[in-house]
Every structure is written in structure tokens, then in C-alpha cells.
Amino acid sequence: MKGDLERISISDLAAFIEIARHGSMRAAALELGLSASALSHALKRLEDRLGVRLVNRTTRALSITVEGRELERYAATGLDTIGEGLAAIRARKQSEIQMLKISLSHDAARLLLWPVLWSFQQRWPNVHLDLVIEERLVDLVAEGFDGGIRYGDRVPEGMVGLELTHPLKWVVVAAPSYLQHAGRPENPSDLRRHVCIENRIGDGSIYRWELGDGDRMVKVIPSGMLRVSSTDSLLAATLQGLGLAYCLELRVQDEISSGALEVVMPDWASMGAPFMLYYPTRRQSLPGLKGLAEVIRTQMIDAC
């Protein structure tokens, strides 16, 4: 094993990975800033040292062999990890500022980011965070964002995602004053006789209440006399006794502990997707993004 590794050039291996990723010698050469001849020589050296053909080439087409795909599967992750590690070390040593533009929801900012900002800036003093906090789900690439933080089931396809929390518990809550005059619902069918505060989410739709888990889950479209577009507004109305609200249990822990809000229908609580940090591709990952994910995950583990 050691002898094989000593005979193989990392640069030749990286050249092959780019060929496999692009499916084109020309595109791989452009990506690496090499001439087609230099890339071809790198591939031949690697094939000679391994003693297998990795790429089948004709004048019109290129295909990766079975052995080539197996090598790509094992080597690509390792090279990406090495590259990210080297980039992280350089980022901490370099004096220039690394700019990270991140899109996140208000709940993500409140629950995940504000508690860790001081720790993050101590560990990553050269990272400048540009935070755009809104419920609208943005197109990261089109709008120039480096990453986003949203619930996992809201992350667009094609993104690389890093889980920041465990699955999250959703509950129905109400103020004692509301329960005193309206009574306490026991199951989803009781909600028809109650005032439910509606919450508009980032795409403009009304957030459906998902009560229970698995086959037992019941999806309810809330109906009431008030509609809001943020959790802060939702809870402000709920604390005044204006109706029932559906929200993250994590978001209302303090209010539940103080008795300002009570969980109703606890047997109908539901587990939802975790928060995730996501970005377009592994190769566009900036070291500060993974650093931020690590700090948040540590904070959430300590909090749970």
C-alpha cells in the first residue's frame, strides 16, 4: 500500500479526477489551467503506474472505465478533504478577509447564529459575515450567496448540505388566558372549534400544521382571524391570548418554562427536519462555511 502511494503523483491523481468529473479532456484542462498535452501525459503516467486503463478515448468520445470509476469513488472524497483542510489552514494564516454571504431565516439566526457569533469570530477572525436574514428562500447562485441555513426539507436539490441539529420537535402552544376561555383541544379534529394563528412562510403560502408522526400524521391548514409572516409576530400574538400557534419547541422553551405558554395536544407533537447549512458544490466550499457549521453543531450539542 505504502509503495503504491509513493509511486503515484497527487497532481496526476487530481488530473484524473477532473477528467472523470467533467467527462472531457478539454474541460478538465481548462479547469486545471493545463495544456491538453500536459493533461494527457499526467493521465498516462497514472495509468502506467497503476497498470490499468482508466479512460477509453477515441477522436470523438471519452469514457471512464470500470477501474476508473472505482478509483474516482475512493479518491475524489479524499482529495476534496485534503484540499479543504489545506484551504482551512491557509485561511487561518492569511491576513486577508474572507467574505461569506449567507442567507438564513429569522429562526435560524436567533436559535443557531446569535449564540455562537462570539465563539466563531474568535476562531475565525479573518471571516467577514454578510448575513441576509429573511424568510424568502433565495437562489444562492443567482443572487451571489456563499451558503444558506434553512430547514433540511427546504434545501433545494443539487446543494451540498451539512446538518446543524438533530431532527426538530414541533408543538402547538397557547397562552393560559386563551385556554381559560376557549378550552383545551385534545386532538386535531378539535382545532375546528379553535382560533389558529396563521403563519405565512417564505414562498407566500400558509404553513400547514403537521400533527403526529409517520402514518399517524395529520396535516391541518390553520384557520383564524390573524395571519403573520414571522415567528416573532406569531408568538407575540399567542402570548396575548389571541389563539393557538404551531412552532418549534426549541423556539419557545423559555416561554414554556416560565408558564407564559403551554403545550397543548402533546401526544400530537411532530418531529421535523433539522436545520442545515447548504451551499452549491463541494468544490465551491469556503473553509469558513464548514468552520461555522462546526461551531454551531458544538453549541447545539452542548445545549441539548
Nearest residue to 34 via CA among 66, 11, 1:
11
What's the confidence (pLDDT) of residue 304?
52
Cα–Cα nearest to 132, from 122, 121, 145, 117: 145
How far is residue 281's CA from residue 147's CA, in Å, rounded to a whole number?
A: 10
φ, ψ for residue 31, nearest 5 deg: -60, -40
Percent of the chain with pLDDT over 70: 89
Q: Confidence class of residue 59 from pLDDT cuts 50, 70 and 90?
A: low
**pLDDT at res. 282:** 57
- Give residues with Cβ within 8 angstroms of 188, minimum separation 6: 211, 212, 218, 220, 265, 268
Digit-coded pLDDT (tens) for 141-192? 889 999 999 999 888 888 888 999 999 999 999 999 999 999 999 999 999 9
Question: Mind listing the pLDDT tens digit for each residue in 269-293?
Answer: 999 999 999 998 754 557 788 889 9
On the question of pLDDT at 4 being above 70, the answer is no
